[in-house]
Amino acid sequence: MLGQLDATEVIDEDHEALTAACEPGVGLCTIVGIEGSFSRRLGAQLAVKADGSTVGSLSDGCLEAQLASDLLDCAEPRVIRYGAGSGKIDFRLPCGGGLDILLDPFPDRTACRMARSQLAKRTPADLTLPCKSRLAIRRYLPSLRLAVFGEGPELEYVEELATTLRLDVTTYNKTHLSLDKPAPNCLLDRWTAALFLFHDHEWEMALLEQVLASDVFFVGAQGGERAREVRSLSLTGRGVPEEQIARIRSPVGLIPSCKTPAAMALSALAEVVAQYERLCTGA
């Protein structure tokens, strides 16, 4: 393995807000309704500390400041409309839409800590919200994890990009792998995406078997049509079911026909993040 981020360093703004809300004196703001378009999903959260500082992100800063101010006036949980349709005529959202936001000055600390503990164990968690709204329960998913197998500059660029984004990434190259053997100490779960960036595709077989036997939500491999055909035939010959082989997205990435390793890495990582966002949207 080339490198692995400690789980405490992995960024997920809603998880960070939830963690902050575990502490006394911290309020929690949750988007419980969206009218029109907005840059955050339903359920996005922001924690507000006693000094007015915030943890998480809901916009470009203007909304965070307004929420921090309004939360100080809340003696109990309440839902407030911001933007279109709001009684706050001195505050408008740049996107022109409307948001219903639950302001909870005293979130259930025990429930917050329990949810955070479940997420640390890579288990989905629920937090019941205290006010009646379109969102009665806030469901959290474990953060995105990447397992990347391969060689050369594509592998290095994926690791560099993922590390810059503070994603949980573990990379495996030939130095730390054995031909036709599964990867040692490889953590694979429903919230993991696996990428295969080999030029020498015979190194993929045992690793693909290992990954396809797991619950990872995404499996992607680089390579053209010939590589796909050989890969499929080889896996079939090893007894891998056809429906499992069909899980492999190849060529991986959102950018067609990448001509540089950097573009390939960006393309692959973009597709992984897009698929994870779909999981979160449906949670």
Element spanning 78, H or E: strand 78-83
Model pLDDT for residues 168-224, shown as the tens digit of each residue:
999 999 998 999 999 999 999 999 999 999 998 899 999 999 999 999 999 999 988
Q: What is the CA radius of gyration of the chain?
A: 22
Average pLDDT, the chain: 90
- 171: region left, alpha or beta (phi > 0 left; psi from -120 to 50 alpha): beta
CB 53 within 8 A of CB 91: no
Q: How many residues does the chain have?
A: 283
Average pLDDT over residues 5-28: 80
Work out the angle at residue 264's Cα, subtended by the Cα atoms of residues 261 and 270, and round it to the nearest 5 degrees: 140
| CA within 13 Å, CB half, 105 | 13
Cis peptide before 251 (omega within 30 of 0): yes
pLDDT of residue 9: 46
User: What is the per-residue pLDDT for 283?
Assistant: 60
Of 27-41, 196-210, 257-271, which gets the smallest average pLDDT? 27-41
Rounded distance between C-alpha atoms, residue 144 and residue 239, angstroms: 30
Instruction: Kindly list the structural domains of the chain, giving each domain's residue range(s) and its CATH number in brackets, ordered by start.
Output: 7-140 (no CATH), 145-281 (3.40.50.720)
Contact status, residue 193 vs residue 226, Cβ threshold 8 Å: no
Closest to 195 measured CA to CA, from 280, 113, 264, 111: 264
Structure tokens at 116: 């955070």
Hey, what are 68's tokens? 């921090």
Query: At 10, is the pLDDT very low, low, confident or very high (cuts 50, 70, 90)?
Result: low
Beta carbons within 10 angstroms of residue 24's beta carbon: 7
* Residue 263 near residue 158, CB atoms below 8 Å: no
d(C-alpha 251, C-alpha 93), whole Å: 40
Query: Which of 33-47, 142-156, 193-207 is least confident?
Result: 33-47
